[in-house]
Amino acid sequence: MKVWSQKTTALACQNFMLSMRAYGYDTCPMEGLDSTRVKKILKLPNKAQICMAISAGKRENKGVYGKQLRFDNKIFIKEV
């Protein structure tokens, strides 16, 4: 049941992230966090499972560390 719930939740997270992008926001999924501390901060019960954390915000036009690099879509997308 735990594996099923993690996979199903991950798919819901993907939909959330795609929806955020559609509204002009960027997201970043993160796993490997300290679930015990997260549960304590959010006042969740011990039996709660943490699938991932997702940060969200507006993209900086200049990029985080410098100018953003974008490859031409034709390199990665081929219509068939």
Quick check: 49 and 2 in contact, CB under 8 A?
Answer: yes
| Any domain includes 17 | yes
Q: Is 70 inside any structural domain?
A: yes
Please, what are the averages of pLDDT over each run of 10 residues along the chain (80 residues)?
86 96 94 91 93 90 70 85
Q: How confident is the model at residue 1, as a pLDDT?
A: 77
Please give the pLDDT value at position 63: 64
- The number of angstroms, rounded, from the C-alpha of 48 to the middle of its chain's C-alpha atoms is 19
Q: 44 is in which domain, residue-wise?
A: 2-75
Report if residue 71 sits inside a domain: yes
H/E stretch holding 30 reads strand 26-30
Q: What is the amino acid identity at position 26?
A: D
Q: How far apart are CA 80 and CA 78, in angstroms?
A: 6
Q: Quick one: residue 24, left, alpha or beta (phi over 0 = left, psi -120 to 50 = alpha)?
A: left
Tally of structural domains, the chain: 1
Residue 12, domain CATH: 3.40.109.10
Flag whether 80 is in a domain: no
